[in-house]
Amino acid sequence: MSDLHTTRLGEHGSPVVFCHGLFGQGKNWTQIAKALADRHRVTLVDMPNHGRSPWTERLDYAEMADAVAGLIDEPAALVGHSMGGKAAMLAALRHPERIERLVVVDVSPVRYRSADEFRGFIDAMLAIDLERLGSRGDAAAALAAAVPDPGVRGFLLQSLSRDGDRWRWLANLEVLRRDLDVLRDFPETDAVYEGPVLWIGGADSGYVRDEFREAMEARFPNVRRVMVKGAGHWVHAEQPAVVTGLLERFLDG
């Protein structure tokens, strides 16, 4: 899949490619991308089944990884959050010659025990009758019980788009729900990526734990882990200045 939607910022410097997480879009990284664009050529990717990129019949991390790698025509830094982080890790393992350095944000190369929270989000989104939906505010109210955090609710509603009088979800919710077990897993591989890796976790999140260090270091031996205080799973949205600083130092190192 070479027709992923991308947004590009910056005209000079080394290339940096961003992969967002589940329910997201490339534009979720815009604030940080703008901060980097004076010294880097930044590409924001809409991952398959999200944003303005094509939908697929199934979810497959190898296909995601290959699609992202297919966008890269010279060695680049690759940054990925959550689902996008797993795709980025696999892209580095499968196409190391294209990935000059790697940043993994709040995810580990492991199979997580549960995806129930995300399944609940999708069920609530699918339960909204888009034919009768009056406004984005009505959608927010409909999600309130299942998604009590207003920040998370607002994030999910970024995928709600209006074309004329019709509402639609930009995310392929049916396939995402069906294949959530694929998303919480990580493909088995004996490959090792020797390039520099920055592993950023949210201190209030459970996705980057000490128990996952062995799995990470087995595939990415040149890794440095940083835990960001005051941040949960959406580290870059909750602490953008901190993440920007970490990226600037790592990309220029």
- 251 with 14: CB under 8 angstroms? yes
Check 135, 161, 174, 194 and give the catalytic one.
174
> Which amino acid type is present at position 10?
G
- Sequence-distant (6+) residues with CB within 8 A of 126 are 173, 174, 177
Q: Give me the helices (H) in 95-227, please.
A: 116-127, 136-143, 150-157, 173-178, 180-184, 213-219
C-alpha distances in angstroms, 181 versus 116, 191, 238, 244?
Answer: 10, 22, 27, 31
Q: How far apart are CA 214 and CA 152, in angstroms?
A: 31
Amino acid at 161: S
Closest by CA to 177, choosing from 112, 108, 115, 86, is: 115
- Per the annotation, the verdict on 159 as an active-site residue is no
Q: Which one of 40, 50, 81, 233 is the catalytic residue?
A: 233
Q: If we measure between CA atoms, which residue out of 126, 84, 130, 124 comes closest to residue 103?
A: 84
Q: Would you call 233 a catalytic residue per the annotation? A: yes
Catalytic residue among 82, 100, 108, 236: 82
95 classed as catalytic: no
Structure tokens given for 134: 């009056």
Name the residues annotated as catalytic: 82, 174, 233
